[in-house]
């Protein structure tokens, strides 16, 4: 699925058993509702395609992997229901990644903020470059990482998650993310990143589909309630985004 490149896009390409899903937005690969919806659809589609053995999730460009929620859409939210619907987009992507029966490799070429950290955490195996610093900036704009929180906490533990969530203005480097378990590998440059992604995809492409499906089910055991949980979390963020604090904070960020 492809849209006007000036408005961002989600594209899927299939090669030799691997579904490559790429998203792009001109504002540092931020995530408006439309792109979130398309991402969830493409991930579901790859999971249901019997020809797909592994999924590689990536963003376009060589800079930011994902800047998180679209500030333009956050400022346009005027009711709690609209807020819930917007943040449910992140819930749908995370749940699509969780329930996809294929392993998802995340290719992380640059900085991850907010929802971008959630996507990295929901991947089954994240491979990054040294430029891939991470930050959960939600508290800085008065929201809190409620929807992505379960995925991040599952991957790196409550202590590391709370550090990211509380000190919302501090970047953690890729080495920190690797030591905490968010990234499986960290490479010096994009060339080495792509080589490692291709290497792992090739190995998984020739692995047992039944075994990988059972492994994924085992890895994600205990998250069966996330459809309800993440919907509840989306409602919390949807209320908080209406606050005067959040309006003013986002306005300041957009002026930078």
pLDDT digits (tens, 9 = 90+) for 82-94: 999 999 999 999 9
Residue 5's pLDDT is what?
62
Q: Domain boundaries in the chain?
A: 5-190+222-255
d(CA 89, CA 226): 14
Locus of tokens 């579901």? 44
Task: Give domain 5-190+222-255's CATH superfamily.
Answer: 2-enoyl-CoA Hydratase; Chain A, domain 1 (3.90.226.10)
pLDDT of 7? 86
Closest by Cα among 144, 142, 88, 93 to 122? 93
Tokens of 109: 């070429």
Euclidean distance between CA atoms 24 and 34, whole angstroms: 12
The residue ranges of the chain whose pLDDT is under 70 are 1-5, 256
């Amino acid at each position: 699925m492809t849209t006007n490149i000036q408005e961002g896009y989600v594209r899927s390409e299939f090669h030799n058993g691997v579904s490559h899903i790429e998203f792009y937005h001109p504002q540092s690969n931020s995530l408006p509702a439309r792109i979130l919806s398309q991402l969830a659809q493409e991930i579901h589609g790859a999971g249901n395609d019997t020809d797909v053995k592994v999924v590689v999730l990536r963003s376009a460009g060589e800079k930011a992997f994902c800047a998180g929620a679209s500030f333009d859409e956050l400022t346009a939210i005027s009711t709690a229901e609209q807020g819930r619907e917007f943040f449910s987009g992140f819930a749908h992507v995370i749940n699509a990644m969780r329930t996809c029966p294929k392993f998802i490799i995340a290719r992380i070429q640059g900085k991850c903020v907010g929802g971008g950290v959630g996507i990295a955490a929901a991947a089954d195996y994240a491979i990054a470059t040294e430029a891939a610093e991470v930050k959960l900036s939600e508290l800085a704009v008065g929201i809190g990482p409620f929807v992505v929180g379960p995925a991040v906490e599952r991957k790196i533990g409550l202590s590391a998650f709370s550090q990211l969530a509380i000190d919302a203005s501090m970047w953690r480097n890729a080495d920190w993310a690797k030591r905490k378990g968010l990234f499986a590998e960290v490479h010096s440059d994009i060339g080495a990143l792509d080589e490692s992604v291709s290497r792992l995809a090739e190995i998984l492409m020739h692995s047992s589909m039944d075994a990988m499906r059972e492994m994924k089910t085992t890895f994600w055991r205990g998250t069966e309630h996330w459809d309800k949980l993440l919907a509840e979390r989306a409602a919390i963020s949807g209320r908080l985004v209406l606050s005067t604090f959040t309006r003013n904070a986002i306005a300041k960020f957009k002026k930078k």
